[in-house]
């Protein structure tokens, strides 16, 4: 079981590194998964997390780089810390 979870975790993180954050959330998060981020914002389930990720992804004009710094898996809890270098749309930009 542990090897299977490691493989799933590795596949999810590979998708994130390729910029497929929304797709990784849809594929790998349990319906009851909860999340928190560096701002303290929390989601109560997968549907809330997907809504948050879709809104975030819609604000991205270009992905300039993604670095996965740390990752851990312990039982049914996973953790990943990444930096994203992005060019974002700004309110009022004519090309949004």
pLDDT in tens, 33-60: 998 888 899 999 999 999 998 988 999 9
The pTM for the full model equals 0.75
Contacts of 81 (CB under 8 A, 6+ apart): 68, 69, 70, 71
Three-state secondary structure call for residue 28: helix
pLDDT in tens, the chain (96 residues): 556 888 998 999 999 989 898 999 999 999 999 988 888 999 999 999 999 989 889 999 999 999 999 999 988 788 888 899 999 988 755 554
Q: What is the DSSP letter of 82?
A: E
**Where do the structural domains in the chain lie, given as residue ranges?**
2-88
Write out the CATH class of domain 2-88. Answer: alpha beta
Question: What is the distance between the alpha carbons of residues 52 and 15, in angstroms, rounded to a whole number?
Answer: 18
């Amino acid at each position: 079981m542990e090897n299977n979870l490691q493989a799933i975790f590795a596949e999810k993180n590979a998708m994130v590194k390729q910029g497929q954050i929304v797709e990784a959330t849809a594929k790998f998060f349990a319906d009851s998964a909860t999340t928190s981020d560096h701002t303290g914002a929390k989601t109560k389930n997968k549907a809330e997390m997907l809504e948050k990720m879709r809104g975030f992804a819609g604000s991205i004009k270009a992905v300039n780089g993604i670095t996965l710094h740390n990752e851990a898996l312990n039982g049914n809890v996973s953790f990943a810390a990444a930096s994203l270098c992005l060019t974002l749309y700004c309110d009022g930009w004519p090309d949004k």
